[in-house]
Amino acid sequence: MTVSPPDLVKLALPKGRMQEGVFQLLADAGIKVRVDERGYRPTVALDHFEAKILKPQNIVGMLHAGARDIGFAGSDWVAELGADLVELVDTQMDPVRIVAAMPESMLDDGKLPQRHLVIASEYEQLTRRWIARRALDASFLRSWGATEVLPPEDADVIVDNAATGSTLRANHLAIIEELMTSSTRLFAHPRALDNPERRQRIEDFAMLLRSVLEARNRVILEVNVAAKDLERLIAVLPCMRQPTIARLHGEDAYAVKAAVPHKDLPKLIPLLRASGGSDILVARLSQIVL
């Protein structure tokens, strides 16, 4: 058996629907991933990192057992499997809700009927905990995908993940309750952080991911303003700390630069114009290291 160096970081990358988003996040952070012919042991452009591609559910199990140090998985499966892990980064990608749903025609005034219910789900532990919390007269039925097609013939209620809810609506299912929200996140086994060198590598890796995620939410905004309007403009300009201000050559005016939330632009640009701003430029960012 080969013994890995104590500072080697064993990284688990996801297989399936979340892989594209994770690989793009890594690429945007300058970390290239090259997949081998069989597609399970890619090389990662980081020293002292060893990667393996696994299904997200397997990643949670491997992390919990300590076979992998860090890995990407949905927080729903961490909750389902009761894994003792450290959350490092919430990428906010692949957002879903874990919901309980039932055919609209079977509801009693919009509520669960007071009778024995068969509840189907891939999430056994989350479902059983929900049954206990609601004190329901119910039995659990394990499903293996396509859970939404089981009612009404084979199940009364389902517990499933829903991104937009369109699949539930297409099957005439009404959401009764939201059990939790989930997204793709970077997790670590607690003992993976014990070795100082390995911990530093993991923290640096997480920092690179956060820098990309922060940049995705912000843009660089530059605006010129006359000296007499400078303070009025700064008062309405959101920024991370303080804006960068430089005097314009040959004018009694300034150039103001700040990283602002992208979502604020529709309201912010007219407000800056009304506060004396002109020559407004907006540029996208690649990374922001706080």
Residue 5: the pLDDT is: 78
**Going by DSSP bridges, is the β-strand pair 173-188/244-247 parallel, antiparallel, or unpaired?**
unpaired
Query: How much of the chain, in percent, has pLDDT values that exceed 70?
Result: 99
Q: What is the pLDDT of residues 190-230, one digit of tens each?
A: 999 999 999 999 999 999 999 999 999 999 999 999 999 99
Instruction: Extract the tokens encoding 157.
Output: 């209620």
Region 118-135: mean pLDDT is: 96
Contact assessment for residue 118 and residue 138, using Cβ atoms and an 8 Å cutoff: yes
CA–CA separation, 152 and 194 (whole Å) = 51
Assign domain 96-182 to its CATH architecture.
3-Layer(aba) Sandwich (3.40)
The helix/strand/coil state of 91 is strand
| φ and ψ at residue 193, rounded to 5 degrees | -95, 5
Looking at the whole model, is its pTM more than 0.85? Answer: yes
Find all residues with CB under 8 Å of 261, minimum gap 6, and list them.
217, 218, 238
Identical fold for domains 9-93+183-215 and 96-182, yes or no, is yes
**Going by DSSP bridges, is the β-strand pair 9-14/49-54 parallel, antiparallel, or unpaired?**
parallel
Region 64-78: mean pLDDT is: 96
Residue 1: the pLDDT is: 47
Contact assessment for residue 193 and residue 199, using Cβ atoms and an 8 Å cutoff: yes
pLDDT at 45 over 50: yes
Query: How much of the chain, in percent, has pLDDT values that exceed 90?
Result: 85
Residue from 274, 282, 168 nearest 223 by CA: 282
- Please name the amino acid found at residue 151: P
The helix/strand/coil state of 133 is helix
| φ and ψ at residue 18, rounded to 5 degrees | -85, -5
CA–CA separation, 285 and 74 (whole Å) = 27
Contact assessment for residue 159 and residue 123, using Cβ atoms and an 8 Å cutoff: yes
Contact assessment for residue 107 and residue 177, using Cβ atoms and an 8 Å cutoff: no
Find all residues with CB under 8 Å of 25, minimum gap 6, and list them.
91, 93, 209, 212, 213
Residue from 220, 279, 235 nearest 254 by CA: 279
Region 243-252: mean pLDDT is: 94
CA–CA separation, 269 and 272 (whole Å) = 5
Assign domain 9-93+183-215 to its CATH architecture.
3-Layer(aba) Sandwich (3.40)
Provide the CA 221 distance to its chain's centre, in angstroms.
Answer: 26
**Going by DSSP bridges, is the β-strand pair 138-142/117-121 parallel, antiparallel, or unpaired?**
parallel
Residue 65: the pLDDT is: 94
Domain ranges of the chain: 9-93+183-215, 96-182, 218-284
CA–CA separation, 142 and 124 (whole Å) = 7
Query: Per-residue confidence at 2, pLDDT binned at 50, 70, 90?
Result: low
Q: What is the CATH number of domain 218-284?
A: 3.30.70.120
Residue 179: the pLDDT is: 96
Residue 235: the pLDDT is: 94
Find all residues with CB under 8 Å of 286, minimum gap 6, and list them.
28, 212, 215
Residue 3: the pLDDT is: 57
pLDDT at 42 over 80: yes
Instruction: Extract the tokens encoding 125.
Output: 């532990």
Residue 215: the pLDDT is: 94
